[in-house]
Chain A
């Protein structure tokens, strides 16, 4: 019976091609907006989360705003890692300098730090070495630069052993960092970065002294919350219980915040797309009602030759379902085309989110049934005598 109903529904859909297609268009557009928008948001979330994770997941950044006349000395930092919860610590003083070479001149971000910084931040070297303790002890004018700085200022990346000037002062390049994945569009990646010994930056920049105002610390275990609480206790004790004296930034909490933002975003966009799918459903109901009225006589004939209420109902319901499901599949196919086109144009790597594809199929079935039920019921309830008399 069902196969026969499907066959009849297909016949009647095909006998009104333009109308069926226009009705489907509502569902096609609804499904397309749902699938494309949510897939894009999911893809973007993925790459943002990746780049946040790349910054290091067990990382806490601290900046001190008020030292209560008891500034944190560089030599004091190592005492923090005596706690088992922490692995290593490095100061991170930031400054801006003009980087010059014979080739070019650009503004660069200098970070004055120590040897531990490499591991804490999860940086990777392309060639050479990172800062070492003797560099700090000797206030050496050595620098580790990122790949962007190497290419922008020196013209190439194999520059270990060459010199670069920061604010006119000559620094020996001892290492070059690996180029970061281009798909992560984090702001810090795009700038020109150089890492020099903390002690050297003190000499270079007036704002930086032996009093550390910002540092990063890595937790030993996975329990970031415990590490953060412990750090907070240590700092509170150090700065006379003043909560406003310092602030701690937790990378994983940034990632969580990001997740919740994009979650809300995809819910919002999905909601809007869902509404357009609903409008498509109303279109189906509308056209089904027209179709039921137009085919009143046919319904009468069918009833006279032995079709029951259930049979008529099933036929119209299946017709509505086929329109919405076929529209859904077309919508998914078009979504795939759109996403692939976006990938080709933007050289990105978005993919159809399988979850949303399944959701949109389920949603389309729901809409087909929901909006097909009323017209189908009207068709089934028709009085055969009056229906046969209808012209």
Chain B
């Protein structure tokens, strides 16, 4: 599913070259629930950006579903993001002036799905996160937990092959966080591949497998 081979990413800070990822290797199989854990500055976010095709590696090879992402044009990267990746962010990242329903529908519009299919998928996704009755609400009228569930519904609606969650419980209290984690477990039980980035050991422990990031290296840990 995901293979990182000697992936490196450097940033120029002043005169100094800083490695965000330093020859990282990683292998995630389809249907796995993997957590990536590490302190801030360890390269977690860079890894997620590369996995989500928002960024490309400077060195090394990234294979997504066997496809070498390195050779993709920007148009192809956009297509991969649209069809294969479902992002869930720490700060929910819903669009403020659009209703819950419209937010969930947005990726389907970018996939150029016909209106009828969009409607049934939006309804389906909202029902699965239990917020169908809130479809007309704006994000500002919803609680943090509800907003995150809408964001998960948005990812679900696009039917991605990979869910990428960046600190999904980071902005939530532990009870709400627990609910969100339950949703990820449900997704996993339905056979979806999930990569969850966190610095919370207890959240990381809920995954099948944990990968610890340190100074741009990825290391498998048994929890």
CA A306 – CA B81 in complex, angstroms? 5
Q: A11-B98, A304-B93, A307-B110 are in contact. Are A385 and B78 (CB under 8 A)?
A: no
Choice from B52, B107, B112 contacting A1 with Cβ under 8 Å: B112
Asked if B55 CB lies within 8 Å of chain A CBs, one says: yes
CA A304 – CA B151 in complex, angstroms? 12
Taking a contact as CB atoms under 8 Å apart, the answer to whether B54 and A384 are in contact is: yes
Chain A: CB-nearest residue to B98: A11
Q: Sample 24 A-B pairs with CB under 8 A, ordered by A number.
A: A1-B109, A11-B98, A15-B97, A298-B95, A298-B96, A301-B94, A301-B95, A302-B95, A304-B52, A304-B54, A304-B87, A305-B81, A305-B82, A305-B107, A305-B110, A305-B154, A306-B83, A306-B158, A307-B110, A308-B82, A309-B74, A311-B110, A385-B55, A388-B89
Asked if B106 CB lies within 8 Å of chain A CBs, one says: yes
A residues whose Cβ falls under 8 Å from a Cβ of B: 1, 4, 11-12, 15, 297-298, 300-309, 311, 384-385, 388
Taking a contact as CB atoms under 8 Å apart, the answer to whether A306 and B98 are in contact is: no
Query: Which residues of the partner chain B approach A307 to less than 8 Å between Cβ atoms?
Result: 78, 82, 110
Q: How far is the CB of A22 from chain B (nearest CB, A)?
A: 19
Choice from A12, A297, A311, A385 contacting B49 with Cβ under 8 Å: A385
Query: Which residues of the partner chain B approach A15 to less than 8 Å between Cβ atoms?
Result: 97
Query: Which residues of the partner chain B approach A305 to less than 8 Å between Cβ atoms?
Result: 81-82, 87, 106-107, 110, 154, 158
For the complex, count residues of B whose C-beta is within 8 A of A.
Answer: 27
Query: Which residues of the partner chain A approach B110 to less than 8 Å between Cβ atoms?
Result: 302, 305-308, 311
Query: Which residues of the partner chain B approach A388 to less than 8 Å between Cβ atoms?
Result: 54, 89, 93
Asked if B75 CB lies within 8 Å of chain A CBs, one says: yes
CA A22 – CA B77 in complex, angstroms? 39
Asked if B40 CB lies within 8 Å of chain A CBs, one says: no
Query: Which residues of the partner chain B approach A297 to less than 8 Å between Cβ atoms?
Result: 93
Which are the 8 A-B pairs with shortest beta-carbon distances?
A: A306-B82, A308-B78, A306-B110, A15-B97, A305-B107, A301-B93, A384-B54, A4-B109
B residues whose Cβ falls under 8 Å from a Cβ of A: 49, 52, 54-55, 74-75, 78-79, 81-83, 87, 89, 93-98, 106-107, 109-112, 154, 158
Chain B: CB-nearest residue to A307: B110
CA A11 – CA B106 in complex, angstroms? 14
CA A12 – CA B94 in complex, angstroms? 15
CA A4 – CA B109 in complex, angstroms? 8
CA A303 – CA B54 in complex, angstroms? 8
Q: How far is the CB of A335 from chain B (nearest CB, A)?
A: 32
Chain A: CB-nearest residue to B75: A308
Taking a contact as CB atoms under 8 Å apart, the answer to whether B93 and A11 are in contact is: no
CA A304 – CA B154 in complex, angstroms? 12
Q: How far is the CB of A387 from chain B (nearest CB, A)?
A: 10
CA A298 – CA B95 in complex, angstroms? 6
Query: Which residues of the partner chain A approach B112 to less than 8 Å between Cβ atoms?
Result: 1
CA A302 – CA B95 in complex, angstroms? 9
CA A15 – CA B139 in complex, angstroms? 14
Most buried by A among B79, B97, B98, B112: B97
Query: Which residues of the partner chain A approach B75 to less than 8 Å between Cβ atoms?
Result: 308-309
Query: Which residues of the partner chain A approach B97 to less than 8 Å between Cβ atoms?
Result: 11-12, 15
Chain A: CB-nearest residue to B99: A11
CA A285 – CA B90 in complex, angstroms? 33
Taking a contact as CB atoms under 8 Å apart, the answer to whether A304 and B81 are in contact is: yes
Q: How far is the CB of A301 from chain B (nearest CB, A)?
A: 5
Q: How far is the CB of B176 from chain A (nearest CB, A)?
A: 21
Query: Which residues of the partner chain A approach B87 to less than 8 Å between Cβ atoms?
Result: 304-305
Query: Which residues of the partner chain A approach B49 to less than 8 Å between Cβ atoms?
Result: 385
CA A12 – CA B112 in complex, angstroms? 21
CA A304 – CA B107 in complex, angstroms? 9
Taking a contact as CB atoms under 8 Å apart, the answer to whether A302 and B106 are in contact is: yes
Query: Which residues of the partner chain A approach B52 to less than 8 Å between Cβ atoms?
Result: 304
CA A305 – CA B89 in complex, angstroms? 11
Query: Which residues of the partner chain B approach A304 to less than 8 Å between Cβ atoms?
Result: 52, 54, 81, 87, 93
CA A308 – CA B72 in complex, angstroms? 14
CA A142 – CA B74 in complex, angstroms? 96
CA A298 – CA B93 in complex, angstroms? 8
CA A12 – CA B97 in complex, angstroms? 7
Q: How far is the CB of A333 from chain B (nearest CB, A)?
A: 27
Query: Which residues of the partner chain B approach A384 to less than 8 Å between Cβ atoms?
Result: 54
Q: How far is the CB of A349 from chain B (nearest CB, A)?
A: 47
Query: Which residues of the partner chain B approach A385 to less than 8 Å between Cβ atoms?
Result: 49, 54-55
Query: Which residues of the partner chain B approach A300 to less than 8 Å between Cβ atoms?
Result: 93
Most buried by B among A12, A300, A388: A388
Query: Which residues of the partner chain B approach A306 to less than 8 Å between Cβ atoms?
Result: 78-79, 81-83, 107, 110-111, 158
CA A303 – CA B89 in complex, angstroms? 14
Query: Which residues of the partner chain A approach B95 to less than 8 Å between Cβ atoms?
Result: 298, 301-302
Query: Which residues of the partner chain A approach B94 to less than 8 Å between Cβ atoms?
Result: 301
Query: Which residues of the partner chain A approach B74 to less than 8 Å between Cβ atoms?
Result: 308-309
Q: How far is the CB of A300 from chain B (nearest CB, A)?
A: 8
